Chains A and B, each alone.
Chain A
Amino acid sequence: QKEVEQDPGPLSVPEGAIVSLNCTYSNSAFQYFMWYRQYSRKGPELLMYTYSSGNKEDGRFTAQVDKSSKYISLFIRDSQPSDSATYLCAMSDAGGGNKLTFGTGTQLKVEL
């Protein structure tokens, strides 16, 4: 079983929809949680960063972490065609530095 599980999709939604992306994990030592966005033929870029449990909002994006359930989510409000990409969750433990453990990514397509 992988340390981080992520539904690969693809997920197709109409423009303006609210998108929910999720990851579950098994390693209780993970404390730092990130969401990266990867466009086709590009490298991943950091979208959201969260420490421990709680919510974080940045514009149309909200990241949630529930450590008790070992579950993290990324919500995208008012989704746009430009949000079409693969979304990767990533996490690390306190001693792991930037040795990140990634999910396999969820492919999102936002249609006009």
Chain B
Amino acid sequence: DSGVTQTPKHLITATGQRVTLRCSPRSGDLSVYWYQQSLDQGLQFLIQYYNGEERAKGNILERFSAQQFPDLHSELNLSSLELGDSALYFCASSPWERDTGELFFGEGSRLTVL
């Protein structure tokens, strides 16, 4: 158990809908990362927050947004969903803002868009 908790584990929804994925980082970790894992693209970095502030952005679509709250949990909001958004969404945490060490991943939220 990495200590990173993600909910929900599975989510099935329809095109055009909006969903929110939630992540609680390991106790004491200030950085939260969101990654998308699809069969053809592998793990893709979406966005990083550190202590409530956005720190780095990857290839995150404009339809997607995220935030980190004062209690350090984070939410990833996906709107106007398309079939291609079906994927595993992972949250990861680490203690620091900029380090090149270990990321602790949650077990992921599997999103299916029908």
Contact = CB atoms under 8 A, between A and B. Distances in A.
A112 to B, nearest CB: 27
Contact of B33 (A94, A98, A101): A98
A49 B106 CA distance: 19
Nearest to B31: A98
Interface residues of A, number: 24
Contacts of B101: 49, 98
Given A97-B56, A98-B31, A46 B42 contact: no
Interface string A72-89: 000000000000000010
Contacts of A46: 102-103
Interface string A37-54: 000011111100101000
A68 to B, nearest CB: 21
Q: Main SS of chain A's interface residues?
A: loop
B43 A88 contact: yes
Given A45-B105, A97-B56, A104 B41 contact: yes
Nearest to B33: A98
B4 interface: yes
B108 interface: yes
A9 interface: no
A96 B99 CA distance: 8
Contacts of B99: 97-98
Interface of A: 31-32, 41-46, 49, 51, 88, 90, 92, 94, 96-105
